[in-house]
Amino acid sequence: MINIDEIRKKAAAWLGNEFDEATRNEVKNMMENDEKALIDAFYQDLEFGTGGLRGVMGAGTNRMNRYTLGMATQGLSNYLRKHAVNPSSVKVAIAYDSRNNSTYFAKVAADIFVANGFIVYLFGSLRPTPVLSYAIRLHGCDAGVVITASHNPKEYNGYKVSWNDGGQVVSPHDRGIIDEVRKIKSVNEIASGGDESKIIYIGEETDIRYLEEVRKLSLNHEINRKHADMGIVYTPLHGTGYRMIPEALAMYGFTNVHSVKEQSITDGNFPTLHSPNPEEPSALSMALDLAREKGADLVMATDPDADRLGIAVRKPSGDFVLLNGNQTGALLTWYIISERKKKKELTGNEYIIKTIVTSDLLYRIAEKNGVECFNVLTGFKYFAELMRDLEGRKKYIGGGEESFGYLPGDYVRDKDAVSSCALIAEIAALARENGKSLWDLLLDIYAEYGLYREKLVNVVRKGADGAAEIRKMMEDFRNNPPAAIDSSRVVKIDDYLLLTSSDLLTGKKKPLALEKSNVLQFFLEDGTKISVRPSGTEPKIKFYFSANTAMNDPALFETLWKKLEERIDSIISVLKL
């Protein structure tokens, strides 16, 4: 229950002289005129989770501001001083996106790091998240920070932490950093007054080396040049991809690339968008209009920090269709594996990675071609962790997740929409070389490996009561699992909290070799898979549905696709979602 007296007491502490005048005035105004805003701003502390901070910008303990960011940076500094490879010479890289206050927050973080005696590699202007990941490894940094709230609405910003491998922090560092951040109880504990000469500004020299790694991923230079005039439309959605992705496409040989001018202006207000999320069809509407005007066949969009990619392709009818994350991931996986196989570059030591809620179509493609496929928990930090563990023993060649994040190369350890854009364009050129479209290629993949259809349902439950309801839903599924769902028997249950896989037909159990996570998966006799997990960042519980069938002829696609949709919708109805 909310105690308004406690909240007012907490807010009054932000009227002290250690806070700047603008912050004091904002808090004072809420105390005098807007109790609801006051409660929202102070009823809890903005949680530093395993990935860092993310929240609405503004004054208050539950807001993203220079003080909550400062306390997080000081806690991270304290941890680095104990656990960096060389604690006496800690190096941190910092990048930022186009969101409001991102440049300011990056400078605040840089000043705190140097005040702690660290060397800071700070990008002189905004950069995509994958470039930050690359810079950490290139400059031998102990950690990295990118100021971004990914694809959240304009009111948000965030602070994402990576470790020295360029991947987001994982155990034990994630819990260790969180513990150090929680020890910071006052803004007076934040270091200040550092030597600014320890800030090293980095720019094009790092970009050039990064783009050279992107160039090396190309598997068909000649075909790209042959189809240089292929029409492509790209939109950065007012974000960091505005320069580097057109450069990557030009480097791959594509000359007929049209950027959406209105959305190539970096603007944290995202004035032309309802949401800067390439997963949402409305985000691509202006790009689709331009594609129709220019006669282009491929549309690509990236989120503000250019780590997620959404694409639309033209069907034989002339209409555009937006591909979901699983479909784009299947195209990338198929292309990388099939072309390497064609060039006799597969030795049997290669592997791909996907998450447990990503389509098993990626697994089928890998398995049929002798490439190992690893399943990890949701989040690219688990990709980086596995890549680090297998480095020197196995060769990573690609991977992705259903939420529009892909990583075609191993020089970066986070989602990379820059290289993904370049390779998607290259796949389109290959299709064109064979008299086909990307859509035709996707249907060919379905015909060879099976037709898979997925659907995500988000059940939102806000507030304390909502959180309790979500907990109860998970407890009910775990303690009283269904024997059948929509007339199909449940034959297996994977419980990632208990780390057990239960075969309900034989009664046998075996361990799951992953980190504990509150996720349940139900496997039905008809091949349907249902995954259930609470969101780690939003007040919702997510239900992932996957159904599949054989498709021997691309001409059967529409009929079978509709049948799979009906199958999933029937299950959703039975579960009353």
Model pLDDT for residues 230-261, shown as the tens digit of each residue: 999 999 999 999 999 999 999 999 999 999 99
CA dist list (Å): 40 to 66, 70, 158, 306, 527: 18, 20, 18, 30, 45
pLDDT tens-digit map of 458-504:
999 887 788 889 999 999 999 999 999 999 999 999 999 999 999 99
What domains sit in the chain, N to C, each tagged with a CATH number?
A: 1-43 (no CATH), 50-202 (3.40.120.10), 210-436 (3.40.120.10), 452-575 (3.30.310)
Cβ–Cβ under 8 Å, residues 290 and 326: no
Torsion of CA 302, 306, 309, 312, to 10 degrees: 20
Is residue 150 part of the annotated active site? The answer reads yes
The confidence band for 49, taking pLDDT boundaries of 50, 70 and 90, is confident
Cβ–Cβ under 8 Å, residues 166 and 137: yes
Cα separation, 18 vs 188, in Å, equals: 7
* Res 100 pLDDT > 70: yes
Question: Measured in whole angstroms, how far is the alpha carbon of residue 473 from the centre of its chain?
Answer: 26
67 closest CA partner among 82, 53, 79, 83: 53
pLDDT tens-digit map of 430-447:
999 999 999 999 999 999
DSSP 168: B
Ordered DSSP codes for 234-245: EE-TTSTHHHHH
Structure tokens at 344: 């006799």
* % of the chain exceeding 90 in pLDDT: 95
* Res 131 pLDDT > 90: yes
Catalytic residue (one of 102, 150, 420, 437): 150
3-state SS assignment for residue 528: coil
Question: Integer distance in angstroms from the first to the last C-alpha of the chain?
Answer: 29
The confidence band for 21, taking pLDDT boundaries of 50, 70 and 90, is very high
Strands 199-202 and 119-123: parallel
CA dist list (Å): 188 to 17, 18, 67, 339, 351: 11, 7, 10, 57, 49
Cα separation, 257 vs 232, in Å, equals: 5
pTM of the model: 0.95
Q: Is 102 exposed, middle or buried (0-12, 13-18, 19+ CB in 10 A)?
A: buried
* Res 1 pLDDT > 80: no
pLDDT tens-digit map of 521-546:
999 999 999 999 998 767 899 999 99
The confidence band for 50, taking pLDDT boundaries of 50, 70 and 90, is confident
Query: Among all chains, which residue has been given the structure tokens 């049997």?
Result: 348
pLDDT given at position 535: 84
Cβ–Cβ under 8 Å, residues 73 and 112: yes
Please state, rounded to an integer, the average pLDDT across all residues of the chain: 96
